[in-house]
A and B are shown apart, each in its own frame.
Chain A
């Protein structure tokens, strides 16, 4: 390659465009479908309807109805069909309209996809991607506002990623599709419309199992993923005005979990507040707290604090829903409580 061409290539690889999280996901799908014939999309309303949340908009026109396959409302059936197709070397990307509906396909995810590698002694693999949004905040009420991230992230054999930014949405979905194991990509309804710079390089991939420090700070570490990261960043900015320097570590992957990056941050700040949108009992933050106390026992100046969804099925009334969610007030309160604790 000539020096000029090399510079041009660098130019392309660093090019970014501001787009929504939703558009970043769509770009990832389009790029991977163009790159690899084995990649196909399957799910309810992904084709003719353009996707219940429009992530797959336009893909059926571009790639045809065989590669953007509308399914009946039969999650157990088509998730399992994804498992079988993956076993034969295809790269299915199965969309579940929201994570709440993944429950009726749990047998295929937990008892089948997650088991294949180990149970058959490594003789066959299952390169399946399942993508689905979780999240609350739109008055969707008890059956449609849940986050089950920890159920999947506690299952050996699965990988689970959950991007918070448009760039990571693109990079992690691409990593999931290229991975030779079943990967669950947990998206989030309220942040589909969030905008950010996204690398346009078709080979831009965010490695699975790598957290990212999104904001540097020295007083306390906020650890979170997905929408909780968006809130944590907001709270960190607000607290900066009060003289608090908060570091924000975005997990990006839940399994594998990058404890190394979390521990390095806590070793520096000596305080940790873990935030999640799910119920904290037995939750992602419970796991984080356990690992932090073990890895950072001598570094901690305060007990690890946790903020999560109030432990109730989510109510409809707007004020009740807001109160139940890990809102900015509760996150800020946890940070201040941690800082005010005397050693």
Chain B
């Protein structure tokens, strides 16, 4: 399922080594256990706001991030817990962010939708559908300007492919030959709207051809297929500055967010049908066939449970951000001086809440 209107990225890729498969499986399990716990904590009112879970999409998330080099850059939409974990952000930092605590990866200022970990090359979880595409395009432009050999992976959902920002970003990336791969995570529904009810061309990868860009579709629940395609396209992006669209077809088990039961627009049978082809179960079976002992598989499950439990304990113990730091981070150092003369006539409470609460520090 591929069309090559640009020079075809055709770099041979070695398959997953047994140890790699085991490690990826461990990350997939961690992601699933994390999401399950996040939903539990949300229902216990320790997590608020919007909280979008990715259970069912682990082969795509973990497989694509595996194809990234450590210093490649990652940008995502808001269904991003698994991406952050796969890229190397600790479960503690992610859970603390969900809890709105100071030790969260965005110090409790971003929450579920706005994870970020610059040290690991993760440039954000963004909350406006398709808004992250132009930003990711700019990151790729900066890589070129700086002569760096890395690539950007920009994740988006199927719904984002109907936004103007998608078209503008693909055009710029192709026009300027930027090292970027747009990963369309097609989980069949944009919120509650099935892809075919929203997209006149529901095979979203085909839209790449409008920009003379390579596009292709993979089974997003097939770990090997995801790794192979992502690796090949990212190499082409790095080595030949050939941008591409990779559409991974997968399925989310939970609703759009934890507030959505996910049943108004699909049936329980449909969900069960997908769960029968669960990507975790697939990889677990592959490991079994490769001779990994049942005890080791159970140990993986247990480790994931322990790590997530530790993350919850860490998040609970982490301090809430100080009210006196309400404006912290908003502006660069030195900005307090610029704002100093704005104090006279300020609205009631503004001085304490903003001017004395970390503005410009």
Among the listed B73, B124, B328, B342, which residue makes an inter-chain contact with A209, where contact means beta carbons less than 8 Å apart?
B342
In Å, the complex CA distance between A87 and B109 comes to 18
The reply to whether A209 and B338 contact each other, CB–CB distance below 8 Å, is yes
B123 surroundings in chain A (CB, below 8 A):
84, 87-88, 124
Q: Chain A nearest CB: distance from B212 CB in Å?
A: 14
A83-B134 in contact given A76-B164, A259-B342, A260-B344 (Cβ < 8 Å): yes
B334 surroundings in chain A (CB, below 8 A):
180
User: How many interface contacts (CB-CB < 8 Å) are there between A and B?
Assistant: 201
A71 surroundings in chain B (CB, below 8 A):
172
Encode B125-145 as 1/0 by CB contact (under 8 A) with A: 011100101111111111101
The reply to whether A180 and B175 contact each other, CB–CB distance below 8 Å, is no
Q: Chain B nearest CB: distance from A181 CB in Å?
A: 5
Interface residues of B in 278-334 (CB under 8 A from A): 327-334
In Å, the complex CA distance between A81 and B132 comes to 10
A263-B345 in contact given A85-B145, A88-B143 (Cβ < 8 Å): yes
- Which of A21-29, A189-197, A216-224, A286-294 touches B? A286-294
The reply to whether A123 and B118 contact each other, CB–CB distance below 8 Å, is yes
Among the listed A85, A179, A291, which residue makes an inter-chain contact with B139, where contact means beta carbons less than 8 Å apart?
A85
The reply to whether B106 and A88 contact each other, CB–CB distance below 8 Å, is no
Interface size, B (range): 35 or more
Among the listed B105, B135, B339, B341, which residue makes an inter-chain contact with A80, where contact means beta carbons less than 8 Å apart?
B135
Among the listed A80, A120, A208, which residue makes an inter-chain contact with B106, where contact means beta carbons less than 8 Å apart?
A120
Q: Chain A nearest CB: distance from B82 CB in Å?
A: 19
Encode B95-126 as 1/0 by CB contact (under 8 A) with A: 00000000011111110001011100001101
The reply to whether A209 and B339 contact each other, CB–CB distance below 8 Å, is yes
Q: Chain A nearest CB: distance from B99 CB in Å?
A: 14
The reply to whether A123 and B145 contact each other, CB–CB distance below 8 Å, is no
A112-B341 in contact given A121-B108, A181-B331 (Cβ < 8 Å): no
The reply to whether A261 and B128 contact each other, CB–CB distance below 8 Å, is no
Q: Chain A nearest CB: distance from B357 CB in Å?
A: 11
B133 surroundings in chain A (CB, below 8 A):
80
Q: Which residue, B106, B142, B146, B334, has most C-beta atoms of chain A within 10 A?
A: B142
A157 surroundings in chain B (CB, below 8 A):
330-331
Chain B minimum-CB-distance residue to A292? B345
Encode B145-176 as 1/0 by CB contact (under 8 A) with A: 11000000000000000001100110110010
In Å, the complex CA distance between A77 and B327 comes to 29
The reply to whether A77 and B169 contact each other, CB–CB distance below 8 Å, is yes
Encode A257-285 as 1/0 by CB contact (under 8 A) with B: 11111010000000000000000000000
The reply to whether A86 and B138 contact each other, CB–CB distance below 8 Å, is yes
A120-B109 in contact given A40-B145, A72-B172, A294-B345 (Cβ < 8 Å): yes
Q: Which residue, B134, B329, B347, has most C-beta atoms of chain A within 10 A?
A: B134
Check B1 for interface membership: any CB of A closer than 8 A: no
Check A119 for interface membership: any CB of B closer than 8 A: yes
The reply to whether A209 and B169 contact each other, CB–CB distance below 8 Å, is no
The reply to whether A124 and B118 contact each other, CB–CB distance below 8 Å, is yes
The reply to whether B143 and A120 contact each other, CB–CB distance below 8 Å, is no
Interface residues of A in 187-246 (CB under 8 A from B): 207-211
A122-B141 in contact given A76-B134, A259-B342 (Cβ < 8 Å): no
A257 surroundings in chain B (CB, below 8 A):
341-342
Q: Chain A nearest CB: distance from B131 CB in Å?
A: 6
The reply to whether B346 and A291 contact each other, CB–CB distance below 8 Å, is yes
In Å, the complex CA distance between A112 and B140 comes to 17
A117 surroundings in chain B (CB, below 8 A):
329-332
Return 25 A-B CB contacts under 8 Å, by A number. Answer: A76-B134, A77-B165, A77-B169, A77-B172, A80-B138, A81-B135, A81-B172, A84-B135, A84-B137, A84-B139, A84-B141, A88-B138, A111-B128, A112-B126, A112-B131, A119-B106, A119-B114, A121-B329, A122-B107, A123-B117, A179-B332, A209-B337, A209-B340, A263-B344, A295-B345
What 10 A-B pairs come out closest when comparing CB atoms? A80-B134, A84-B138, A122-B329, A77-B168, A121-B107, A291-B345, A180-B332, A295-B345, A209-B338, A81-B138
Given contacts A112-B135, A124-B118, A180-B333, 13 further A-B contacts (CB under 8 A): A81-B135, A84-B134, A84-B139, A111-B131, A112-B131, A119-B114, A120-B106, A121-B109, A123-B105, A123-B116, A127-B332, A295-B344, A295-B345
